[in-house]
Every structure is written in C-alpha cells, then in structure tokens.
Structure 1
Amino acid sequence: MDETDKFDGWQRITNLGNGGFGTVDLWRKGDEEIALKQIRASGDISKKMMERWKKEIEIMKRLKHLNVITAKEIPPPLEILSQSLPILAMEYCSKGDLRKVISKTCKGLKETEILKFSKDVSSAVEYLHSQRIVHRDLKPENIVLKEVDGKILYKLIDLGYAKDLDQGSICNSFVGTLQYLAPELYKTQVYTHTVDYWSLGTVIFEIITGFRPFLPNKPPVQWFDIIKEKKDGHISVYEENNTYIYQKTLPVHIRLCEPLKQAFQQWLKTMLIWDKTLRGNDHEEKGKKQTCFTELETILEMKILSFYHVIENTMLHYPLAQDQTFEDVQSLISLGTNIPIEEQEIFLIDGKEPKRCEMAKEILNQCIHGEVYPLFLFQKHNIPEKQSRVNYFRPLPPKVRYLNSNESHMYSPRAIWEEAVYYCEQILSDCDNLMNCHKATWSAKMIAQQKFSDAYETLNCLIQSLTAKVDFFLISLRHNVKKYHDQAQGGISSNSVINSWLDKEKEAINIQQDVQKCKTLIEAKNFDTKKTSSILTSKNYDYLKQKHDYLKQNVAAAKDLYIRKVYPEPEQENTKLFFNCIQNQKDIFNEIHDKLIEYRHARLKFLADLDEVIQYIASLQKYSNSLTTSQKQLQGNIWKLIEVALTKSTLNSKTSPTTENQQFLSTNSMESLQVLQDNHNMKKDLQESINHVQSIIDSL
C-alpha cells in the first residue's frame, strides 16, 4: 500500500466505485469509516465539470434526510487530499448498491423488500423536490443500502447531475443514464421535476419484475420511437417474434400478492406516462403532497391479511378496512372458496383460532419473534383419508418442459433456467408454508387436548366433590328427620316441613344415582387422556426437517448457478437440482399432509369429547347448585323450628324446659331460653300462646 493511502491513522481501504468523472474510496480509522469522493485529477478538467462538482458538494452539504446520503466533515488529516481539488466526505453504506441486489435475484425482489425500497426512495425523491432539487439520474447504481439496527435503509447518492429548479421549474440540459432517462431528457427538451417520476417508476418496475419495462435489451437510441407509440395505460413493452407487445399489466410471475400487484400496476401507469405534464398526476397547489406520493403512500399503508389455503396449496389475500372484523373477512373467504363460515377451520401460527368478533387488524399484528405468518385455512369436516387425498402442486412453467428435453424451441438457456429457478423458489415457499402449517396444526391439536384434559380433570373433581356433598346432605337430612320425629309428639311439629324434607331426600337420592351413572358412563367412554409432549420431537419431524433443509440447499445452488450465469443444458448434471427440488417437495407434501390428517382428526375428537365433558359438567353443576339450595332451605327450616320453639318457651312459665323440649333443643339453645325466661313476663294465657305458635307452624 502506497504511503499516500495513509494519513495520521486514516487508511484507504478500498475503491467503492467510479462515476463519470470521480472515484469513491473507503477510508477507515479504528471503528470510524467514511466514503471520500474525489474528482479525477488526470487530464484537463473542464470548467463545466468543475462547476458540476462544486454544485454537488454544495447540494450535499445542505441536505438532511434519512434516505439521502449524508455529507460529513472532512477529517483534518485528510484535508490534504483537497488541496488541489475539492473532495466530498460522506457516510459509508456497507451493503452495496441496488444493482448488486437486483443481480442476485430471479424475477424481482421479495414483497417486503419492494415495499421498503418504495417507501425509502420515494421519500428521498419527495424531499429533494420539496427542496426544489431534481435528481435527474435515478438508477439502481445511485441507490445504496445501509444496515441500521438490523434493518436495511435505502439511500440516494450521486447528486452530480442534480439541479436546483429555476423559477419556472423548467430545464433543458441533457444529463443522466440513458436506460432510465425520461423521454424529454433524451430528446433534450424542456423538462421539470417529473423526469424523476419516470426514472422512479422505471426502477420500481425493475425491482418488481427483475427487468426494465421498455425493451430492456435495446439501447434507447433504438427504442425511443417504438416506446413513443405506447398509450398512457401501457407500463411495459417487449419484443416477441419480431413483434412489439405493449402491456398494461405486470407479469404473472412476480412476488407481490394480488392486491399489491393491482395497486402498483395502477400507480405505474401514472408514473410512466409519456406526456411530462400528465405524469404523476401532479397538481398546482404549492406546499401540498403531490398525488403520486399520496397514492404510493396509500399503497404502502395497505393492511393485508393472508391465508394459506392448505388443501388447495394457494394463497388468499384480503386488504383490510378500518373497522373490519374477522367475521367480515370470513365472509369474503366464503365467497372465494365456497367454505361456509361455520366450516372454516383457521389457525394462527401458534395454533390458536381467531375470534370472529376480533378486529381483523389486531390479528394482523399478531406475529412470532417479529415474523409475520399467514393464517392457515382448512374446511373443518372435509378431512380426506390418507389413501384418497390429493396434493395440489404448482403447474410447471411452460419453458421448464424444455429443461431436460431435446425438443426444438426458441428459448435461450437463460430464459429456461430463470423460470426453473423461480419455480424452485416458489415450491420452497409452498413448503415453508406447509412446514409452518404443520407446526400450527400440531399446536391447535395440543390446545384442544389441553382444554379437554383440564375439563376432564374438572369433571372428575366435580364427581368426587358432588358425591361427598350428596352423601353429607343425606346423612344430615336423615339425622334431622330422626330428631324431628323424636320430639314431634310432645314438642313442635309441621307436616309441610317434614314432607319437604322427605321430598328433598328423594331428590338427593336421584342425584346420587345420576352421579354414579355419570361416573360409570365416563369410565365406559374410555376417553384418551394420555398426555402428549408439546414439543415436536419425533422421527417424522426430524425427517421433515432434513428434507426441508435439503430442499433449501438445492434451491440455493440452483439460484447460485443463475446468478453466475451458468445455465444448464439438457441432460447436464446441473438439471438434477431442479428435479431434486420437485422430488423433495413431493416427499415433504406427502409426509406433512398425512400428519395434518392425523392432527385434525385428533383435534376434532378432543373437541367432541370436550363438548361432551362440558355437558356433563353443566349437569353436575346444576345438581351441585340444587344441593346447595336444598341445604340452605334445610337450615332455614331448622332455624324456623328453633324460632318457634324459642317463642313458645318464652311464653311458658319460668319453670325449667320440659323433658321433650330438652330432647329437641341443644344445650346452647336451652341456655338462651333461660335468659329469655329471666327477662320476659308472661302477658297472655297459655292457650292463646299455643294458638299463636300453631299458626306460625302452619305458615311454614
């Protein structure tokens, strides 16, 4: 390393890139890193180039936005590098540029990446326009990635072509990269900030599909007149059999779900309009968010509830309204699948079932360890037998049939392998969903089993407690009846009370018999109460995990060949990767669907048993409540008799209680009578007292 690459602890690490007239290098001192952009010193530097360079530095230093590269102060030791020509110090973004990301994908970025990119870069462009700056060179190479707190941020760089909008907001200089250039720039016509709309639309189309929208294999000098013929609704043009095809829709094979696909499709139509005055649906009102950014913001804020329809092996997606309940979404599912709401068996990843009254957006927010999973949809009583079940696999893409064939065709090895790799990624996604469904269905079965076990334990406890309760009640009641009869002839009597007690005895005996019958029936049912481990640790699951890991390896290997532009010819060893993926998928589907049948049957059995046990519990609980009421009534009768006895004794002479009263009353009651006798005087004759007492008894 040259000594000019070291300055007081700062060291030049590597070259990060080369632009039209400058280079960017990474410098490091300890943990501190910066990117330094320098204008090339070789050759004569034109006045125009120097003005452009100074303009970029000036603009960069006054911009402050999360998604625009941040200019930094030049460390004092490195100021020596700017003695001859100005330099620009910037934050370092270690994850490379968007071109690098696109080059490692097949048919576009993932949905989450598309949404994140669209949010970050549109926010940056909107900010530049609010600062009256037009970028004029939006392209994948000028968008870099930086990791912050484990998340990726997209940032705009290279404002070398950026320009302050003049008072009329119209410019006419020729700048930018041709493939992403708006038509008016290409023809050096007057233009406004809407040139950035065209470029932004082009880049977003590319990250969605994996290719540029307008004849990507032709240079603009050849396609300008062809593209000029497109209508406002066309968002792409491609060539097939020497014919130009104008498209209004996004391709079928992309990674956006259907609601987002439709929304982006409509938005791109506004961004890729040929007429610069109509592009983006701009309005004249100052200080108000432009329509294209408002519409994109609406798309990015969409809440979509996704379901994996397990038996059909398809995904269902439903955009959510503000006050939509889960039952509202179930109604939509019913319309799309012909599965009635009552027959919809739906699990979250943890095996729980959403509540119909729950707000749909609350269900959307339920995720595990930061990961969002689809919900898993079955038809409750449509469980096929293992030997008769049918697995639904994705149909093979048309070009893939030539992967291991000598049939003549017009497709390049790259086009065939691209479809093959994309298909492998899709079946991996299907297997991911099915593996998660396996986990969710197992958990749902465990939840049902736990509920049944808890209810069964409650039932057994209730049988034991009710048996003891009715036994005690009968012993107590029979003892009271005996005591009543012992004193009735010479003491207090009431036909209504004794008849009521005898009726309650019959009721208690019936309850006792019913409890015994319930116990016998439950024993005869032979409920499966065997506890099962709540952790998936079985040979079958280990086998599935191995197959799933093997599928991942094959898909990664196939994608690596595609990225390295190694496209297998028919009968080559590499084509085995594709067929291995298909075979792995079949093995995983067969094994998991068999398990799902077992889990679902077991779950429904536990739920049916649970319903039966709950009915038993409800019946026994009624008996328990009835016994409690009877016990209270029994106690009430006894205290009424004591009250009558006390009243009668009070009206008697101060003589000691008779032998028959002593037999009926307890020691404590006799002591209470003595106190009453000592503090009351007899005011009525004995006969009146007896008549009064008898009237009280008759009223019981």
Structure 2
Amino acid sequence: MDDIIFIGDWIKDRVLGSGSFGTVVLWKHKNNDEKLAIKTCKWGDELTAKHRERWTKEVEMLQTCNHPNIVGTITLPAEFVSGLAPMNPSKLPILCMEYCSGGDLRQQLNKPDASCGLKEVKVRKILSDVGSAMQFLHNNKITHRDLKPENIVLHVPNGISEPSEDKIAYKIIDLGYAKEIDSNSICASFVGTLQYLAPEIFYSKTYSNSVDFWSLGLLAFEIICGTRPFLPFKAPVEWMPFVKKKTHDNICVYETFHGDIEYSNEIFPENHVSKPFKSLIENWLRVALEWDPKLRGRDAPSKVTFNIPSENKDAASASKIVIFEMLQSTLAKKIIKIFSLSKISQLAYEIDSTMTINTLKEWIFKETNIPIEDQMLISPSNCMDIENNEPVMKYWNENSAVMLFLYNKKHMIEENTSPVVPKAVQRCLELPKALYNYKNSQTLYRNAFYFVVAQMDIYDFLINALFTRGESLKQESRQLLLNHNNVDKKLGKLLAKIETIKTMVEIGEKHIEELKENGTGTNILGGFTKTFKDAHDLTDKIEKLVSAWSLLSVRLQSAARRSNEGITTDLNNFVAKYNYQAIFSNAYKTFIAHKKSDFYNANREKERQCPDIVRVCYDCLKLRSKILQELQNQQFILKLKDLSLEFSKISDIICKADENTDRLSTDLENFTGEFTTCIWSTISVVVRDVDNIADLPYSVVSYQKRDFKIGEPVTNHFLTGNHDNVDEIKSLVTESLKLRQNQMELCEKLNSQKNMLLQNSVFDFSFLNGN
C-alpha cells in the first residue's frame, strides 16, 4: 500500500498502525472532511489457514458488533475494492472502519503527566466505556482475549479541538483474537499479549471468558496507577509464581527498593483518584484479579462451591458473574470533592440524594477537627456561602476536580501544613547521592513527576479558592446590604409609629398638666403617669437603636466598598511571580531525557545516581514553602481575613438588630393597645360615674350642649336635692379614687421592678458599636 497515494477522490494520509498481519492506513476525502481507517492484510500465500480464519473472523465480528464502544465498520467504497487489489495479495476481506482521531490509550499512558495514572474523571469514563463494551461482547458469547491499552482508541467528535471528557468515547478495536465462547466454554489456544494474559492461559490447557476479567482488572489498575499491579518489571514467567501466592484481598504485588517482594491490599498511594473511589475500586479489583478462574468475577456462592457453574446445577447454588454489575455500581457512586484552603488539602466523601450540607460538615469535622460553626462551604459555580439545610447533591459535578471550597472562619491558611510526599521522593531528598538501579530509578522518576504535578494541582486549587473567597465576599456584601435595607425599612416604620405616639403623649401630658393647674378632674387620670413613662422608655430605646444603626450603616458601606475592589489583580500578580511552570518544565525535560537515556534502554543492571530529578524534587518543595510563607503576608490575604471577620461581625449585628426591631415593634403595638385601653377606660369611668362626680369640666365629658354653657361645671345643670348628700357622695368617690390611685401606683412599682429584671439587658444596643 506504500506505493498507492490516490484512489479516486481519496488521498492517503498516513499509516495509523501495523501489527503482525495487518496494516491500518488513514485515508481522507479531498472534497470533505470524511476519513476512513482501512485495514489490509500484509501477507499473501505464506498465511496459514489458521491465520486466514482469524482475519476473516475479526472482520465478521466487527461487522456484527454494533456497540458505541466497539469501533464501527463502514461499507468499503467501491473504488477501494479495485484500487487496493494490487496491495492485497492475500485476497482476504478488507476492513473499513471509522477513524478515531484521539489515538490509543497507550499513547495517553505514555505521557509524563500520566506516569502515576490518569485523573479520576478520565478513569471513570474509560472504565464505563470499556466495561460496557466487554459486557456486550460477553452477552453475545464473545471473549476478546487481547484486551490492553493498545487496543482501546479515543474517538473525538469532528470539529472539537479540546473536547471535555464526556465528549470522548473509548472504543475497543482488534477482535482478531476474539472467540465465541461463553462462561461454560473452554479454549486451549495461546493468544494475546503476554503481560495482560490471565494466569490459567500459562498454567492450564483450558480457560473461559474469565480471562477477560483479569485483563480488565489489569487495565483498570494501570490507568489509575500508571503501572501494572504485579511486578511490572518482570516477565510473566517470573512474576506469576509470586502472584499465585497472593490472597483474595491482595491486589498488588511489588518489589521494594531493596528488592523484597511485598503484597498489598491497596493500590499505590501515588494516584489521582479520590479516597472514596479508591476504596470502591479496590473492592472491585479483588473480584477482577482473583487468581482462581473459578472465583474470578463471581459472587460469594462461588467461594463455597469452588466450581464453574454448569447448566445442570441448581440455580440457587450456582455462582453468578457480578464483575460488570459491581463496576457499574462503583461508577454510579457520587463523590463530592472538596478543597480545604486552611488545611491546603483535598477531601472527598461518597454522598446520596438525601444528604445535607450539615451532615457533610459533621463528616468534615471528624476528619479535620474544624468545628462545624467555623466551617464555610462555598460553591465555585456561584461563589455563595451554602446553607446547612441544602442538599449536597445540588453541588455535585462529575467533570469537576473541585466541587466545593472549604474555609475556616478563624484561619485563612494554617501554618505548618505539610505536603504529602511519596516515599521514593522522601528517600531521594534524604539520600541525594544514593545509587539507583533501573527499577528503582523508574519508580523515582515516575513518583517525582507525579509529586510536581500534584503540587501544581494543589497550587491551582489554592489560587482558585482565594479567588472564589474574594468573589464570595462581594456576594456576601450584597446580601448584607439587602438584609440591612430590610431592617432599615422596619426601623423606618417603627420610627413613624413612635412619632405618632410621641405626639399623642406630648398632647396628653400637656392636657393633664393644665387640668392639674386648674385642679379639676385629675383624680381619675393617675393611671396615665405609668403609661406616659412607658412611652418615654420605649421612645428612648428606639432612638438609641436608630442612633447605633446609623453608625453600622456607615461601617457596612465601607466594608462593601472594599470588597468590591476585588483581589483578582493582586492574585494574578502573585501567580505571575510565584508559579510551578519552570519546575514543571524542568521536571518534564528530565523525565523525557531519562526515558531516552541508555540507563532506560540498556545497561539496566548498572546502578547510578539521579541528581537531576533530586534537584527537581528539592526545588518543588522549596517553592511550596516559599509560596506559603509569602502568602501569609500578602495584602490580599490580609484583606480577605479582615473582610471575612468584619462581615461576620456585621452579620451578627444585623441579626440582633433585626430581632430587637421586631421586639420593639411588638412592644410598641402592645403599648398602643394599653394606651388606647387606658384612654377608653378613663372615658368609661367618667360615663359610668358621671352622676356622682362634681365639678367635672366640659373638656372631659360632654352632654347635650343645650343643657349647659361651655366652661361651667356640669353640676350647675344636673345636681339637685339635698346638698349634704351630695357632699357625702363626693367624699366617698374621692376616697374610692384614692384607693384606685394607690393600687395603680403599687402596680407601677411592681412593673418597674419587673422591667429592671427582665428588660434592661434585652435592649442593650452597645453591640452595634462593637469592633
């Protein structure tokens, strides 16, 4: 096919890959963006009948496997049938496939930033797509037998230069080794890539489709950790005897720095997945990487029977394949990811639809010891402080590395926060002149580059957390202004009401003073003394609140103005001065140079020092320390601290002022009712007892105007009969009113004492002036 460049309107672009038997070439249509991946057999008569059968079987399987995560076939354009005939000596079918422009998964894993695995979002997507494709194959009684990163390609939609993870589809290719066998069938052929083959293919003459479970488990481990789980520097014949000894819980067998063999129940700590997902995937890996094929991928009953189920077995006792179910369940779990600014660390928790922010804060307290009342959770999407009763699920986003930022109200960034340093990096810093063999140097370079990338991620989260806090303070100031305005309106209404009461009280006091001067009718007005005193006390409290409130208004406006100035410019200047770009670039060059060195490709038994990567690790730690030290004294940090504290105080004051305004409003309503009752009670007494009261002025009680003249005593018009009786009646009424007056004065004293005990502290507004 090398000699053919043009076929009809199609132009040969490049060779995508070449295997043992076939070559895949990319062809582009000259009039549009259509692309085809065409696979032809490179051999002719030297092919055996078995090889021809394998090739034909792959074409047939791909043409019948219609699944979004299995590379699709396309009808070969007619011009290629004749155009490629000279380059197809075998006369075997030509396979025309959709073109997947993202390359294969091995290319992704070979990138330096994937040296310790891929990000969790990508891991989830790969396992979801590949798991779905493998389940489809097994449901159709097809075993792939050669699942590996090289046989998984990335399909990217046309026109998208930098697609998000949800836009990429991972597809299985190369069904050349696939065979139609089910869980009860056995096969004896030795096929597939050695490092990904299940143990029984080496140790037994027969195997079932559980070999794919093993390969899927190895693939999952590698995309999470960047390396295979079982002694990756050894050939299968060397590592399998060690792996055979592992228990069900062991999912990793590795060689220590000193060459000892260790068994582990966990994946390597150098990874980019959250703790909850790590725990979930480890449980799944125990099922996928079970040594015994009779148990692998199956549920608990199989561990009792130790037999591959047969059709004659009782359904209740038969083991069940659960590997795909478990994987789907694991991937369906929702994990909220949080970055704590004060601790400079990442937190993650598995959540469900019923969980609230308050419960999340309780979990955070258990892990970080930050009291719930000091925690503040802010969403980067809206920069708003989240209420405790809100559902956590509202802020979950599967494509986001950080879904919430956690702040400690008392500490912006705590001092003496220690980084998580891989053991290999710790060792190189403690022993910078240590000698490394090939295996140990590989581990060091991988872990060192991972450490740099991890520190870059944390720095990125830290800067975003500071930016989000700055934006949230703007939102907080707006909310405080709204709350302030609401209280201000309440105070305005309260002032309007108290002004009316003040006017009524002033008129009442003046009128009573005039009556006292005339000495007429005052014997029934003693109750107003207490009422007027209550009015003055209430007025005094309201005026004090309003006076203090005006000072708070100025304070809030000043804080709001400072918050609106923002910190973006200062942050950008800081990032421009302090960043990891130079260290990352140096680490990248060092990593690539090591892979190209003779140490990597030859002389693997020789030991040597690794000063270049030691320097990278040292510079990374030094920069981290300097950044944290410089941050503590940055003006924008001090501004965030000051505004956070100020807004917290102002918020408390507004809440208390709101409560006191409501309380005073209630007291004013009660007073108005009492005042009205007092007035009407006095009028009622006058109306009821008017026949027995002498010298009552017209201004207090009025009868028919025709019966008397204005200003004259009422008694001149209606008092008749014996004057001795009248004097006696007057004396009795006077004594009765004196008793009433004494009773009122006693009540007033009791109420005064009660107020001193219960109300004086309630209306202390000194908090409005607090710092």
Q: TM-score, normalised by structure 2?
A: 0.74
The partner residue of 1:509 within 529, 536, 547 is 536
Tell me the residue number matched to 2:467.
Answer: 439
Q: Which residue of 2 aligns with 1:86?
A: 93
Equivalent residue in structure 1 for 2:271, among 254, 258, 264: 254
- Per the alignment, residue 119 of structure 2 pairs with 110
After superposing the two structures, state which structure 1 stretch, 392-401 or 26-35, moved more: 392-401
- What is the correspondence of 1:224-623 to structure 2 with a 5 Å cutoff? 224-240=240-256, 241-281=258-298, 284=309, 290-321=321-352, 323-349=354-380, 350-364=382-396, 371-381=400-410, 389-395=415-421, 397-399=423-425, 402=428, 407-412=433-438, 413-460=441-488, 462-476=490-504, 478-479=506-507, 503-522=530-549, 527=555, 529-530=557-558, 531-534=561-564, 536-537=566-567, 539-547=569-577, 550-552=579-581, 554-563=583-592, 565=595, 577-594=616-633, 595-596=636-637, 598-623=639-664
Corresponding residue for 2:179?
Answer: 163
- The worse-fitting range, judged by mean Cα deviation, of 417-426 and 243-252 is 243-252
Deviation at 1:400, TM superposition (A): 5.6
Partner of 1:101: 108
Structure 1 residues 167 and 566, CA gap change in structure 2 (3 angstroms): closer
Question: For the structure 1 residues 654 and 540, does the alpha-carbon distance in structure 2 shift closer, same or farther, using more than 3 Å as the test?
Answer: closer
Alpha carbons of structure 1 residues 474 and 135: separation in structure 2 relative to 1, 3 Å: same
Once the two structures are TM-superposed, the CA of residue 473 in structure 1 deviates from its matched residue by 3.0
Counterparts in 2 of 1:335 and 1:473: CA distance versus 1, 3 Å: same
How far, CA to CA, are the matches of 2:508 and 2:37 in structure 1?
Answer: 98
> Whole-Å Cα distance in 2 between the matches of residues 236 and 305 of structure 1?
27
Task: State yes or no: 1:72 paired with 2:74.
Answer: yes
Determine whether 1:176 maps to 2:192.
yes
Opposite residue 622 of structure 1, the aligned amino acid is R
Aligned counterparts of 1:398 and 1:54: Cα–Cα separation in 2: 49
Match of 1:5 in 2: 5
Cα distance, 1:169 vs. partner? 1.8
1:52 corresponding residue in structure 2: 54
Letter in 2 for 1:512: T
Q: State the SS of the aligned residue for 1:25.
A: strand
Distance 1:208 1:578, change over 3 A: same
Distance in structure 1 (CA, Å) of the matches to 2:502 and 2:532:
7
Q: CA deviation at 1:328?
A: 2.8
Aligned Cα root-mean-square deviation (Å): 4.3
* 1: CA distance, partners of 2:135 / 2:121: 21
Residue deviations 1:156-191 (CA, integer Å, cap 9, x gap): 001011111279522211211111111222356211
Q: Which amino acid aligns with 1:70?
A: G
8 Å CA contact retained: 2:22, 2:39: yes
Mapped pair 1:143 → 2:152: yes
User: Does the 8 A contact of 1:400 with 1:419 survive in 2?
Assistant: no
Alignment correspondent of 2:224: 208
CA contact (8 A) 1:56 1:162 kept: yes
CA displacement at 1:358 relative to structure 2 = 3.0
CA distance in structure 1 between the aligned counterparts of 2:204 and 2:474, rounded to whole angstroms: 69
User: How many residue pairs align between the two structures?
Assistant: 655
* Distance of aligned partners of 1:633 and 1:10 in 2 relative to their CA distance in 1, 3 Å threshold: farther
Q: Which residue of 2 aligns with 1:690?
A: none
The CA deviation at 1:538 is: 5.4
Contact 1:445 1:600 in 2 (8 A): no
Counterpart residue identity of residue 87, structure 1? I
After the TM superposition, which of the residue ranges 625-634 and 33-42 deviates more from structure 2? 625-634
Of 33, 45, 58, the match for 2:35? 33
Q: Cα offset for 1:23?
A: 1.0
1:13-28 equivalences in 2 (<5 Å) = 13-28=13-28
Report the CA distance shift for 1:452/1:638 in structure 2 as closer, same or farther (over 3 A): same
1:558 deviation in Å?
1.8
On the 8 A contact 1:383/1:597 being kept in 2, the answer is no
Give the whole-Å Cα distance in 2 for the aligned partners of 1:208 and 1:312.
25
Q: State the Cα distance separating 1:48 from its structure 2 match.
A: 1.8
Q: What SS is found at the alignment partner of 2:4?
A: helix
Q: What runs of 5+ residues in structure 1 fail to find an aligned partner?
A: 662-684, 688-697
How far off is 1:524 after superposition? 6.5
Separation of aligned partners in 1, 2:538 and 2:620 = 64
Mean Cα deviation higher: 439-448 or 245-254 = 439-448
Shift of 1:501: 6.2
2:168 to 152, 159, 167: 152
Cα separation, partners in 2 of 1:534 and 1:223, compared to 1, 3 Å: same
Alpha-carbon distance in 2 for matches of 1:391, 1:250:
25
The C-alpha deviation readout for 1:344-368, integer Å capped at 9, x for no partner, is 3443335433333333333435x9x
Secondary structure of the residue aligned to 2:555 is: coil
1:123 shift after superposition? 1.0
Q: CA deviation at 1:292?
A: 1.0
Mark the runs of 5 or more structure 2 residues left unpaired by the alignment.
Answer: 86-90, 158-162, 303-308, 310-314, 600-607, 691-701, 712-717, 721-739, 741-771
Question: How far is the alpha carbon of 1:154 from its aligned partner?
Answer: 0.9
Which whole-Å CA distance do the structure 2 matches of 1:244 and 1:576 have between them?
A: 29
The secondary structure found in structure 2 opposite 1:72 is coil
Are the structure 2 counterparts of residues 610 and 212 from structure 1 closer, same or farther at C-alpha, using a change threshold of 3 Å? closer
Change (3 A) 1:645 1:199: same
Deviations 1:132-156 (A, max 9, x none): 1000110111000112474221110
In the TM superposition, residue 622 of structure 1 has moved relative to its aligned partner by 3.2
The answer to whether the 8 Å contact 1:383/1:601 transfers is no
TM-score of the two chains, using structure 1 as the length reference: 0.81
- Distance in 1 of aligned mates of 2:212 and 2:568: 57
Match of 2:139 among 130, 135, 138: 130
- What is the deviation of 1:253? 1.5
CA distance in 2 between counterparts of 1:163 and 1:123 reads 18
| In structure 1, distance between residues paired with 2:497 and 2:646 | 32
1:477, 1:501 within 8 Å by CA — same for their partners in 2? Answer: no
Deviations along 1:614-666, one digit per CA (max 9) or x if unpaired, are 323332333344445655777789999999999x9xxx9999898769xxxxx
Percent identity between the two aligned chains = 29
CA deviations over 1:485-516 (Å, ceiling 9, x no partner): 9999xxxx9987x6676654443333332233
Q: What is the distance in 2 between the residues matched to 1:32 and 1:628?
A: 80
Post-superposition CA distance 1:311-344 (Å, at most 9, x none): 3333333222553333333333333333443343
**C-alpha distance in 2 between matches for 1:202 and 1:103:** 16
Distance 1:619 1:445 in 2: 26
CA distance in structure 2 between the partners assigned to 1:247 and 1:644 by the alignment = 95
For the residue of structure 2 that corresponds to 1:164, the secondary structure is coil
Q: Which segment is superposed worse, 5-14 or 629-638?
A: 629-638
Distance 1:540 1:508 in 2: 54
Cα distance change of structure 1 residues 290 and 553 upon mapping to structure 2, 3 Å threshold:
farther
Structure 1 residue 28, shift from structure 2 partner? 1.7
What is the CA distance between 1:267 and its match in structure 2?
Answer: 1.8
Corresponding residue SS for 1:108: coil
Following TM superposition, by how much is the alpha carbon of 1:478 offset from its aligned partner in structure 2, in angstroms? 4.5
